[in-house]
Amino acid sequence: MKRTVFLLFLSICMMSACTDREKKQQAHESEVHIPVEQSNNDNSGTTMKQTEILQQIKDQIPADFPIKMPTTIPISQDAFLTATTRTEGNQVDIIFYESKENMPINDIRLKKSATVIGRLIVKQYKNAEGASAQIAFDNFSQNGGQKVDLGYNIKGYQDAGAGSLWTGWNEGRWAIATHTRTDNPEAGIKLAKQVVEYLESHMLPIPKQYGMAQLDVYQTGNLIVWQDKKLVYTLDSIKDPLKAIAIATAFYQ
């Protein structure tokens, strides 16, 4: 009799525990917009890789025109990649975040609980001419300025004014310039040389027709823009200029 009572009690406890687990699981799933399990450990076969996360972000965009996504986004060790997306007319806005915990795409908690990596804007114009007008392309060798050696047989040209010092150069159909203050001229050249060296082993996306990058020593105002026919891609809100270049090269396909 005691054994029967014990087994009955044990069975009831197990049923109750299963019910509690099911309720907790249902509550969790109702809070999650897009369940995303990911890890920075590439050796794990059970967790989602960045390429899959980026594809899920792309799947959230109801745009009538195809857009390209980066193949990877640099994030901190043990951080998780996520994003918010917004589509309005012919423009798509994506803000990439890194978070300490695994958070769904478009989660309302992201603005308070995650760190912005950068923003991608993709806008479609009526024609390629309209898109081209958005690109401030410069041929620095024709503009003149003081010539500087940036290494790898690339020459830069410096232009100063209003306390600012720009070091610009061209790579293919790209116009790239670093910005510093006139009282800190070496910092601009140093950043330019770092970018030139990085681009020796990495490729920027091929623009159709042109692309431009403005990279700031003081980590404000970094801006990378390029044209892809009727589309214009803009990367901004990225503090580290070298990270901005790294994200841009992740669009090369």
CA 145, 149, 153: angle at the middle one, nearest 5?
115
Which amino acid would we find at residue 82?
Answer: T
Residue 5 confidence (pLDDT): 36
Give yes or no for a contact between 96 and 174, defined as CB atoms under 8 angstroms apart. Answer: no
Residue 36 CA to residue 80 CA, distance in Å, equals: 10
Strands (E), 49-206: 80-88, 91-99, 115-124, 146-149, 155-161, 164-171, 174-181
Residue 41 CA to residue 39 CA, distance in Å, equals: 5
Residue 144 confidence (pLDDT): 84
Phi then psi for residue 118, to 5 deg, are 175, 175
Residue 56 CA to residue 47 CA, distance in Å, equals: 14
| Token representation of residue 36 | 């995303």
Please compute, for residue 239, the number of CA atoms within 13 A of its CA located in the half-sphere on the CB side.
5
Residue 161 CA to residue 180 CA, distance in Å, equals: 11
Q: Would you list the domain boundaries of the chain?
A: 18-121, 132-249
Minimal CA–CA distance to 94: which of 232, 236, 242? 236
Please compute, for residue 216, the number of CA atoms within 13 A of its CA located in the half-sphere on the CB side.
13
Q: Tens of pLDDT along the chain (253 residues)? A: 334 333 333 343 443 444 444 443 333 333 333 334 444 434 333 246 899 999 999 999 998 899 999 999 999 999 999 999 999 999 999 999 999 999 999 999 999 999 999 999 999 999 999 999 999 999 999 998 999 999 999 999 999 999 999 999 999 999 999 999 999 999 999 999 999 999 999 999 999 999 999 999 999 999 999 999 999 999 999 999 999 999 999 999 7
